[in-house]
Structure 1
Amino acid sequence: MNTDEIEKYTELENQANQLIETVATENNCDPQDLKWWHISNYLEQKHKIVLVPLNKNEFSTIIADNYGIYGLTLKDSRMAMICYNNECTETRQHFTIMHEIGHFLLHKNNQTYPSLMQENDYTEEDQIFEKEANNMAGMLLANKKAIQSLLNDRKPFNYLCKYFGISNQAMRIRLFNLFYFQTAKQVIEEEKQVNNIFIYSQQTIANYIYKNYQLNIK
């Protein structure tokens, strides 16, 4: 963990929050009331994005697929087509759509971005792009204001998952990331001696959320 990583995450968060505020204004609602489909509908209408549900056989006509695929972003100078695997669970489909929207927002070149089930097929550069798109997906699916409101209301973990329409795993990662960079920044600023910032943050964040919100995310 270093300041560059914190700055990159903060940059992504600011970009996500700007979009969330814009979509909330467009829908005349509070950001904490936004759901994933508000964002996808807005981008379809305003930015020439087309969402296309496909099954595995249909994906094989677009891209060579040996291991399975969650989704795909195809871009050119005029529009973007986001394909998602409609044979996956609904929560996985929601995450895939927001992940591919992350590629559209963050990675401006007209490249094809496949989200593979077999992640070790990614190059080193691909892995960076995928991490960025994953982070953006989490921010758009479960925005900070909405999470904070639900935590303040002492909503249980399963309620959060259902409210945002995402899986337990995605919700755990989102909660961890939400507090991780805050924890890491504090460690750096206070020059604490921490052998493993990731493990330290996991324990600290889980304890913090349980103590303040009685929510167990383990």
Structure 2
Amino acid sequence: MNTDEIEKYIELENQANQLIEKIEKAKNCDAKDLKWWHISNYLENNNKIVLVPLNKNEFSNIIADTYGIYGLTLKDSRMAMICYNNECIETRKHFTIMHEIGHFLLHKNNQTYPSLMQENDYTEEDKIFEKEANMMAGMLLANKKAVQSLLDDRKPFNYLCKYFGISKPALKIRLFNLFYFQTLEQILNEEKEIKDLYAYSHKTINNYIYYNYKLTIN
């Protein structure tokens, strides 16, 4: 982890916040009240995006996959078609839709972005794109302002999951990322020598969240 990754995270967060602010103005509401469907509806109405629910057999008519597929973004110069696996549980569908919207927002070249259940077939470039889309999905599903508001109100972890329509593993990653880069930046600025940066940051973040919000994310 280095300053380049901090800068990338900040760049992604700024893009997510800019979109949230646009939707706030369009719907005349506060970010803490926005849910995943507000985002998808806004982009469908304003950015020539079509959301298409498909089952596994229908996916096989579009792309050949061996392991199964969560979602797919097909882009050209006119529009984007975002397909998602309608046989998955609801929280997985929500994450997939936001993940594919992440591809639409971040990766401007016109090509196909499959979200595979197993990542064996990803190139190194694919892995970078997938990581960015995953981060963006977390930021859109549980936007920073809403997360902070619920934490300030001491809402329990399960409440947050239901509020955002997000799975427990996805929310754990979102909360970790939300505080991780702030902690990392402080470590780098203070030039601390840490053998296991991830473990140190994880412990620091867990302690911080529990101390301030009485919320455990282990």
Quote the Cα distance in structure 2 between the aligned partners of 1:98 and 1:158.
20
Cα deviation, 1:92-136, whole Å, max 9, x if unaligned, reads 000000000000000000010000001122110000000000000
Cα deviation, 1:78-100, whole Å, max 9, x if unaligned, reads 00000000000000000000000
- State, as a whole percentage, how many aligned pairs show the same letter: 80
Q: Aligned residue for 2:123?
A: 123
Q: Aligned residue for 1:14?
A: 14
- TM alignment of 1:132-147, pairs within 5 A: 132-147=132-147
Q: Aligned residue for 1:92?
A: 92
Q: Aligned residue for 2:43?
A: 43
Quote the Cα distance in structure 1 between the aligned partners of 2:35 and 2:14.
18
Question: 3-state SS of the aligned residue for 2:52?
Answer: strand
Q: Aligned residue for 1:200?
A: 200
> Runs (4+) of structure 1 moved beyond 6 Å?
none
Q: Aligned residue for 2:183?
A: 183
Q: Aligned residue for 1:74?
A: 74
The reply to whether residue 103 of structure 1 matches residue 69 of structure 2 is: no
Given residue 71 of structure 2, which amino acid in structure 1 is its aligned partner?
Answer: G
Unmatched 5+ stretches in structure 1: none
Given residue 41 of structure 1, which amino acid in structure 2 is its aligned partner?
Answer: N
Q: Aligned residue for 1:5?
A: 5
Q: RMSD across aligned C-alpha pairs, in angstroms?
A: 0.5
The reply to whether residue 56 of structure 1 matches residue 48 of structure 2 is: no
Quote the Cα distance in structure 1 between the aligned partners of 2:25 and 2:120.
40
Q: Aligned residue for 2:210?
A: 210
Unmatched 5+ stretches in structure 2: none
Question: 3-state SS of the aligned residue for 2:120?
Answer: helix
Quote the Cα distance in structure 2 between the aligned partners of 1:164 and 1:197.
30
Normalised by the length of structure 2, the TM-score is: 0.99
Given residue 55 of structure 2, which amino acid in structure 1 is its aligned partner?
Answer: N
Quote the Cα distance in structure 2 between the aligned partners of 1:212 and 1:182.
15
Cα deviation, 1:51-73, whole Å, max 9, x if unaligned, reads 00000000000000110000000
Q: Aligned residue for 2:170?
A: 170
- Equivalenced residue count is 218
